[in-house]
Amino acid sequence: MGVQKATARQALLCPKPGRVLLRKHLRKRKKFSSKAPLVSRPWWSELPGWIALHAERGPVRKCWEGHRLVLDSQDGRRHGCCSRCFEQPAAGETVLVCHACSWTRCMACAAMPRLPRLSEDPLFHGPNLPCLLKPPFGEKALAGNGTVIVCPGGNYEFLCPNEGLPVAAWLARHGIQALVLRYRLLPRHSLEDALADLEAAVALVRRHKDGPVAAVGFSAGGHLVASLNLRLAKKDRSSGGPLDAQVLVYPCIDGSGWGKPGNAGFWDPACHKNADALLEGQQALVGGRGFAAPPSFIVGSTGDAVCPAKVHTDPYVEALRKRGITHEYIRGNLGEHGFGLDPCWSSAALHWLQKRGFGKKSPARSWAGSRLATRLPGLSGPRHLTSASLF
């Protein structure tokens, strides 16, 4: 049986998980496959650990190096603390261990939800086909007001799965409809393409759904969200951009490292070809002329060696303060880069979004297309309508 086709509005308001394809803003109208991986399978064994994620993916429990974990008893000597929660299981408790590398995981952490296998991860496939991925929506989320677009990080080369659908599902459980943007990446594409994907996603949501629209960006995804505000402010300085709010979690604001091959951190050297485009708007992002942002919730960790708060979030928050833009800033030793959805910021961010009208029960569902022309005049028109499919 073929894939059931649906309109974009039907897909966005459907309680089932699915995706909304973003095709109409693409310059080349070719038929792209959503099954093609970012990296061909022979190279999967060479992928960086933060994408391979052996310990987090699939039904088989493995250690960080990909060795299978086995059941054992904690005797207080041979096995250390849990590698996830860092708690020491009591003597006699059953634990999962790796005898090759002394990896230990308690049974509570082993029972937590798993990420999809690399072969089944929608964020690792469809490199030329941007789309919005949606988790299941319960009645509370379907009745809620507003939409959040989640932009995972990954150094503009990959998309981290733990910063995608788990975040959207968490928001949906609290009555906020959330979608994950699979945007185009280096080396095949450029920052301009990724920005066009996010801009088209915001326009699509505004056309088909009522309420405010926010974006949550992690790491490079935070850079993407912050850069979109600059892009739209140039088009219409009176609007300040298309977003009603943004949440930036350990964002990469100072992207100067992308212009230095030794500091860029790319796995594929071919990414350096389009890396210079990532420096566009650099001075404005750190508070220079052209800075633009909606009300913001910022998270920065002093223990982050990749995007330290002093270099990235501190200058951004100072620019918000100088311009009188409403913001909330969580700063402290919150952990290393990539801690994802964590209680150190998630509860406060949820409360902040709810205060801004997200998740509140909407009195009625109405067609929001008439509002698009006034809020985003440069994006109105049939060329931004999008085909959708459910899976």
- Give the model confidence (pLDDT) of 55-107 as tens digits: 999 999 999 999 999 999 988 778 889 998 889 999 899 999 998 988 899 99
- Give the model confidence (pLDDT) of 31-52 as tens digits: 666 789 999 999 999 999 999 9
| Mean of all residue pLDDT scores within the chain | 87
194 vs 21, residue with greater confidence: 194
Mean pLDDT of 253-281: 92
163 vs 84, residue with greater confidence: 163
Q: Which CATH code of 3.40.50.2020, 3.40.50.1820, 3.50.50.60, 3.30.465.10 fits the domain covering 5-34+119-384?
A: 3.40.50.1820
CA 251 – CA 79 distance, rounded (Å): 36
pTM for this structure? 0.89
Task: Tell me: pLDDT of 277 over 70.
Answer: yes
| The pLDDT value given to residue 56 | 95
139 band by pLDDT with thresholds 50, 70 and 90: confident
CA 174 – CA 155 distance, rounded (Å): 29
Angle at 303 between CA 299 and CA 304, to 5 degrees: 65
Sheet holding 5-6, edge to edge: 5-6, 388-390, 18-21, 131-134, 177-182, 147-151, 213-218, 245-249, 296-301, 327-332
C-beta separation of 33 from 180 below 8 A: no
β pairing state of 70-73 and 103-106 = unpaired
Query: Where along the chain do its domains lie?
Result: 5-34+119-384, 54-110
Residue 32, number of CB atoms within 10 A of its CB: 16
Mean pLDDT of 212-222: 98
Picking from 155, 147, 149, 117, the residue whose alpha carbon sits closest to that of residue 130 is 149
1 band by pLDDT with thresholds 50, 70 and 90: very low
Picking from 283, 389, 391, the residue whose alpha carbon sits closest to that of residue 10 is 389
- In the chain, what are the helix, strand and coil shares in percent, each to the nearest 5? 35, 15, 50
Picking from 359, 15, 362, 12, the residue whose alpha carbon sits closest to that of residue 176 is 359
| The pLDDT value given to residue 370 | 30
